[in-house]
């Protein structure tokens, strides 16, 4: 997966702006990851319920006062929405409603758009 991310970064000519890294949820961030980056992109991270607390801890570690996290996933189980409910207690979670294709991806049970369905901010920023 890391090699694919690096290839995509290069194909999009973002080598000077973006760096791929392996980040094990629940552990300290890798040395090359900012303490509170400007943007966090999280796609298809909600799939294994026992790992939800590790993902939540990782997002707490990453999302600072000026961080915006774009988060998307496919709703597969009721537990997935319990994850979102917990995230709403931890962060200021805003559903992205301005995507013209929202009707399409909602019909497919996807929480996804061109930009992402959820914008997650630090509670102190909201």
Q: Where are the domains of the chain?
A: 1-27, 34-125
pTM for the complete prediction? 0.76
Over residues 15-65, the pLDDT tens digits come to 998 888 888 998 888 888 888 888 888 888 888 889 999 999 999 898 888
Mapping DSSP to helix (H, G, I), strand (E, B) and coil, where does residue 110 land?
strand
Q: Specify the pairing of strand 39-43 against strand 68-74.
A: parallel
* Superfamily of domain 34-125, CATH level 4: Vaccinia Virus protein VP39 (3.40.50.150)
Name the band, by pLDDT with cuts 50, 70 and 90, for residue 126. Answer: low
C-beta separation of 66 from 35 below 8 A:
no
């Amino acid at each position: 997966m890391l090699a694919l991310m690096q290839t995509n970064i290069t194909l999009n000519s973002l080598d000077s702006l973006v760096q791929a890294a392996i980040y094990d949820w629940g552990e300290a961030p890798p040395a090359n990851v900012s303490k509170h980056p400007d943007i966090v992109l999280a796609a298809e991270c909600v799939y294994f319920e026992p790992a939800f607390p590790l993902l939540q801890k990782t997002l707490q570690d990453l999302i600072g006062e000026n961080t915006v996290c774009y988060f998307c996933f496919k709703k597969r189980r009721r537990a997935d929405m319990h994850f979102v409910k917990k995230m709403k207690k931890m962060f200021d979670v805003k559903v992205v409603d301005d995507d013209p294709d929202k009707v399409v991806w909602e019909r497919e049970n996807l929480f996804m758009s061109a930009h992402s369905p959820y914008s997650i901010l630090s509670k102190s920023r909201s």
